A and B are shown apart, each in its own frame.
Chain A
Amino acid sequence: MGILDKLNAIAEARKTLLPAGVDPFNVVIDEIYSATEASIGGRRVLLAGTNNYLGLTFDQQCIKAAQLSLEKEGTGTTGSRMANGTFAGHRDLEKELADFYGCSNAIVFSTGFVANLGVISTLAGPGDVIVLDADSHASIYDACKMSGAEMIRFRHNNLEDLEKKLKRLGSKAEKTLIIVEGIYSMLGDCAPLAEIAALKKKYGAWLLVDEAHSMGVMGESGRGMVEAASVEQDVDFIVGTFSKSLGSIGGFCVSNHPELDLVRYICRSYVFTASPSPSTIASVREALRVIQSKPKLRTRLWQNATLLYQGLKDLGFEVGPDLSPVVAIRTPSRETTLIAWKALLDKGIYVNLVFPPAAPAGMSLLRCSVSAAHTVNQINCILEAFSELHHIMTERE
């Protein structure tokens, strides 16, 4: 048996996608026109699956900042900060992120995935325990495996199960890191963070919150679920990404524990990977300013989210449990999901198709993400397209 034989199952699974005529997991965007429109397969398409929550990928201030940096500092850093040095922009962004969150320390990473991978696998190690929500992102699962810590799952958003597991740990709870997300990426549901923080305090554990989908989205100032739930003082570490509401690429961790600054010396995904390019950092710094100076973007995002979430509910679709900019529609089967996804694309609407294991509990989903850049008319177009495929979803149940 050769090393490639294991890929035969993937080849077979890919064949089942052929009826769609387009590989939904390898869609080519021929041209991108704006935060909400692109050309796919030669036709103009409305984008409803980008995670571009505030629409900042085309923000003129962010583009200008990146352009200036590109001219001044070049296209890349060509190495890690440990080896090649830290650019002033990296240092300044870390200071600005720390200030934004009211924390003493911040570290910037090259992607959100490697931020989780690096921070979690460095903070927890053999002899420690990680208690993670069952619906955690793949980067969290991988990080936990890498850490060598004892890895315990609790049922998604289930406080009773979390408490039961913390209680059983006894004195080991003090060496336990609880990991949850602000908004969960697939169903768009929110963590009961105030209650989780209370359990963390009760048992003397540590708490890390991944705000990938909630930074810039939740909270009066955009500081995520931690701000919305008023638990900023109880959360030990916040991890986030630049690739969603900040419209770029990269990741970060902030904390009031001064030891976070030591993590950068031993964190392999920081030490052994190239640092973010200067233009990326420049656009992120500008986006962080926009998040703070334009709260109206958040207002518009939530108006759009409400319109889509409620509209789909009114049409009879089974949406996620909480209103959020991630609007997931549960479908009866894999086959129906694929047909519905392609029907939407043919109508000029791009959404995400999600199969297990990316979707939780064996579900198949059509996943939309709403942007502040969507117009009301565009949201109505998405709803209209969904209304026309309602018969596909029901006929096949």
Chain B
Amino acid sequence: MTTARYDDIYRQVIELLQEYAPQPGPIREETELINDLGFDSLRVMEMLQDVEDVFDITYPLNSLSDLRTVKDFALQIQSIIEIS
């Protein structure tokens, strides 16, 4: 089990979102991927490949159904890192 600092993950998530967001804009914890950043399923899938590489994790697609905000995303990644 690995411990992962939320702040570090959050910072890296923001960098990835800035690169992939179809509608660029300010990104905060409560920012929503679909409603605020204009992500659709295809764009999310493209980003996930990079997310997996950056954090060296496997992101199960089932987790997408619980993903709404940037905070959700960072917490999901933290949880995956910690159980791997």
* A contacts, CB < 8 Å to B: 134, 144, 150-153, 155, 165, 168-169, 356-357, 361-362
Contacts and interface: CB of A to CB of B under 8 A. Distances in A.
A357 B61 contact: no
A88 B61 CA distance: 42
A275 B82 CA distance: 48
B41 A155 contact: no
B61 A151 contact: yes
Contacts of A169: 58
A153 B45 contact: yes
B84 interface: yes
7 contacts: A150-B60, A150-B62, A151-B62, A152-B58, A155-B49, A169-B58, A356-B42
A90 B66 CA distance: 43
A361 B45 CA distance: 9
Contacts of A165: 58
Contact of A362 (B42, B48, B49, B84): B42
A153 B42 contact: no
Interface residues of B, number: 11
Q: Please classify the interface of chain A as helix (H, G, I), strand (E, B), loop, or mixed, using the class held by over half of its residues.
A: mixed
A134 B84 contact: no
Nearest to A150: B60
A361 B46 CA distance: 8
A168 B62 CA distance: 17
Contacts of A152: 58, 60-61
A315 to B, nearest CB: 30
Q: Please classify the interface of chain B as helix (H, G, I), strand (E, B), loop, or mixed, using the class held by over half of its residues.
A: helix
A134 B45 contact: yes
Contacts of B45: 134, 153
A22 B29 CA distance: 46
A135 to B, nearest CB: 11
Nearest to A153: B61
Contacts of A356: 42
Interface in B18-46: 41-42, 45-46
Among A153, A155, A169, A357, the one with the most B-chain Cβ atoms within 10 Å of its Cβ is A153
A168 B60 contact: no
A357 B42 contact: yes
Nearest to B40: A357
Given A150-B60, A362-B42, 15 more contacts: A134-B45, A144-B61, A151-B60, A152-B58, A152-B60, A152-B61, A153-B45, A153-B61, A155-B49, A168-B58, A168-B84, A356-B42, A357-B41, A361-B46, A362-B46
A151 B60 CA distance: 5
Interface string B47-77: 0110000000010111000000000000000
B48 to A, nearest CB: 8
A361 B43 CA distance: 9
Contacts of A168: 58, 84
Nearest to A362: B42
A362 B40 CA distance: 12
Nearest to B43: A362
A337 to B, nearest CB: 17
A168 B57 CA distance: 8
Nearest to A129: B60
A144 B84 CA distance: 23
Contacts of A155: 49
Contacts of B60: 150-152
A127 to B, nearest CB: 12
Contacts of B48: 153
B30 to A, nearest CB: 22
Contacts of A151: 60-62
Contacts of A150: 60, 62
A362 B61 CA distance: 19
A158 to B, nearest CB: 10
Contacts of B42: 356-357, 362
Contacts of A362: 42, 46
Contacts of B58: 152, 165, 168-169
Nearest to A144: B61
Nearest to A134: B45
